[in-house]
């Protein structure tokens, strides 16, 4: 019997410590972490630089609120804007909160332009969070079921289909923004055409819309670039990120430029804990590693290594429909649901996730060793081969 609300189908294991690419349960058994807290601990567990930054900050000052200047927050904001080519940042505590801020920017931007009921285009198969606005924006009916009435102001388009967005532009004069993940994470590691975001940028420019990218999962080095949009030639108006930014410390960021950076002013939005001393100390330590330690480049190399290994190892397996990857966002799509695979992997000493019922999703540490990457591939491939 537990006093925790049953909002998760938890696995029967409790971890007590972590080190690098492994976590350890109460009996001392080691598990190779192919999920990293759902793309959060990109630098692995108990990373020395992050631990040191947290310890030093915890012994100095934790929180004063955003009523006052916060030195580590100012430094983090400067670094994020310089690295992304943006203008300013709103800090919060999670990806869902960062996405809420982006949606508020879009609506207020629309109202400021005289649009009474502004619409935001969102994509089928997307996931943006579980608050009322973000679950409405999410393109997954299972997430929304039971929470009606949903919010108005969203128009849906198929992912990776620029022509559908152009058709919306021709018929809807209330649209003010496009909100899209560069890679669908919860949607099963769906990777669009190389020019998809660039083409969306062109459509947005032609219609005076904001292009807003949800990089909560794909940001912070996960795809082999600091931000996934940097694989292309565009610059978005809004970027949201969280997850890997704090390596386990809750922090979210909504980063904006141009007109989008001028929308939120005093009194229009806020957060009690957002960007406090402790969270920003962790995020600054993470950015040190991502920008100076070769970790992002390592993620790109490991991703190519693992995708190649999966394709070799699973060649001819009729259960496998497709193997996809961008950096260390990896998906092995099967032809049918695999409801036992997560538990089977746990038994084999590996943490994985299954998205949309039939996609084995791997989001491992960006800095793991070649041997750890190879072992991860071998375990997953063996488990797929062993499916009934």
State how far the Cα of 114 lies from the Cα of 372, in Å rounded to an integer.
55
Q: Indicate the pLDDT class of residue 186, thresholds 50, 70 and 90.
A: very high
pLDDT digits (tens, 9 = 90+) for 325-341: 999 999 999 999 999 99
| Model pLDDT, residue 112 | 97
Single pTM value for the model: 0.97
What would the mean pLDDT of 144-155 be, rounded to a whole number?
96
Nearest alpha-carbon partner for 152 in 179, 130, 175, 133:
133
Cis geometry, peptide bond prior to residue 364 (ω within 30 degrees of 0): no
| Neighbouring C-beta atoms of residue 311, cutoff 10 Å | 14
**Per-residue pLDDT at 1 exceeds 70:** no
State residue 293's pLDDT score: 82
CA distance 260 to 74: 19
pLDDT tens-place string over residues 200-228: 999 999 999 999 999 999 999 999 999 99
Per-residue tokens: 301: 């190399």
**pLDDT tens digits along 280-299:** 999 999 999 999 989 999 99
pLDDT tens, position by position, 79-95: 999 999 999 999 999 99
First to last CA, the chain: 33
């Amino acid at each position: 019997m537990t006093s925790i609300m049953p909002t998760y189908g938890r696995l029967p294991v409790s971890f007590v410590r972590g080190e690098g690419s492994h976590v350890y349960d109460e009996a001392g058994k080691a598990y190779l972490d192919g999920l990293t807290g759902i793309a959060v601990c990109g630098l692995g567990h108990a990373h020395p630089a992050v631990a040191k930054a947290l310890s030093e900050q915890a012994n100095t000052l934790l929180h004063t609120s955003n009523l006052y200047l916060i030195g580590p927050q100012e430094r983090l904001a400067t670094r994020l804007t310089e690295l992304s080519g943006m203008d300013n940042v709103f800090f919060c505590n999670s990806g869902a909160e960062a996405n809420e801020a982006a949606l508020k920017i879009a609506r207020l931007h629309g109202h400021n332009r005289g649009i009474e009921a502004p619409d935001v285009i969102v994509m089928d198969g997307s996931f943006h969070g579980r608050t009322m606005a973000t679950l409405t924006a999410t393109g997954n009916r299972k997430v929304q079921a039971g929470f009606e009435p949903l919010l108005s102001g969203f128009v849906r388009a198929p992912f990776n289909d620029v022509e559908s967005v152009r058709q919306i532009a021709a018929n809807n004069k209330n649209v003010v923004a496009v909100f899209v993940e560069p890679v669908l994470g919860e949607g099963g590691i769906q990777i669009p055409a190389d020019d998809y975001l660039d083409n969306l940028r062109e459509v947005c420019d032609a219609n005076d819309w904001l292009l807003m990218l949800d990089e909560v999962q794909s940001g912070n080095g996960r795809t082999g670039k600091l931000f996934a949009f940097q694989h292309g030639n565009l610059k978005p108006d809004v970027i949201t990120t969280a997850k890997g930014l704090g390596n386990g410390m809750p922090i979210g960021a909504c980063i904006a430029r141009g007109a989008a950076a001028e929308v939120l002013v005093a009194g229009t939005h806020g957060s009690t804990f957002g960007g406090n001393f402790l969270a920003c100390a962790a995020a600054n330590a993470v950015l040190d590693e991502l920008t100076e330690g070769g970790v992002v480049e390592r993620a790109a190399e490991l991703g190519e290594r693992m995708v190649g290994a999966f394709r070799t190892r699973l060649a001819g397996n009729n259960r496998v429909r497709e193997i996809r990857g961008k950096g260390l966002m990896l998906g092995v799509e099967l032809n049918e649901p695999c409801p036992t695979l997560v538990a089977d992997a746990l038994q084999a000493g590996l943490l994985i996730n299954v998205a949309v019922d039939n996609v084995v999703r791997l989001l491992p540490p960006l800095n793991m060793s070649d041997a750890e990457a190879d072992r991860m591939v071998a375990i997953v491939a063996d488990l797929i081969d062993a499916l009934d």
